[in-house]
Structures are given as C-alpha cells and as structure tokens.
Amino acid sequence: MKNFKIFLFNVMLLLPLVTFAQQTVKGKVTEAVGGTALPGVGVIIKGTTIGAATDFDGNYTLENVKPADVLVFSYVGFTTQSVTVGNNTTINISLTESAESLDEVVIIGYG
C-alpha cells in the first residue's frame, strides 16, 4: 500500500508537466493573390491523423498541439505548405495556386 501511495504521488506530481507541453493553435488560411478566405483547407499535424478543416471564413482551430509539431496545409489546386508550430498560438497562411494541370479527364454519362 505504501508503494502505491508513492506511485500515485509521483503521477500527480508529473501530470501537470504533460498539460503544459500542449497548446491551442488557431489561424486563417487565405489565397496569396487577393487574400480571399479558403474554406475546406485541410490542416493536419504531420505524422498523425489529427487535423481540422477551415470553415467558410478560412478559420481553423487545433487543440493539444505540441511546439515541435508540424502543421501541413493542403487544398486542391494549391501548393501544400508545412509550418512548425513552435511557441505560436496563431498561424495565418497564404496558399499559392499550383501551376500543375490534370493529366486526363474522365467523363462518365449515365442514361
């Protein structure tokens, strides 16, 4: 019983350290030319499945983000960008249009 109390004390002592290493990151994603907000941009923490999509105004919020995490911003027709979080709580990104074109287009008609 004494060992359990010591273990429980150590867990309670170290628990706040885990919560201090995480933060909430928010921001806005816009188009580089014109500054138009981009809805539906995928914002994902690299190497995980944790992420969010921007709302109609281009805003996003991610919780429990570590300073060492890298955010990946991706949207169809735009170049993908990666940003290290660091100590930032607000990260605004401007995405540039991709100059790549589609290789082929498939049209399917149902009668």
Answer with the residue of higher pLDDT: 75 or 22: 75
How many angstroms separate the CA atoms of 12 and 2, rounded? 16
Quick one: pLDDT band at residue 1, thresholds 50, 70, 90? Answer: confident
Pick the CATH number of 19-95 from 3.20.20.70, 2.60.40.1120, 3.90.1170.40, 2.40.50.1070: 2.60.40.1120
The DSSP letter of residue 96 is P
pLDDT at 17: 55
Quick one: pLDDT band at residue 61, thresholds 50, 70, 90? Answer: very high
pLDDT at 110: 85
pLDDT at 26: 94
Q: What is the pTM of this model?
A: 0.72
Write down the domain spans for the chain: 19-95
How many angstroms separate the CA atoms of 65 and 34, rounded? 30
Q: Is 3 left (phi over 0), alpha (psi -120 to 50) or beta?
A: alpha
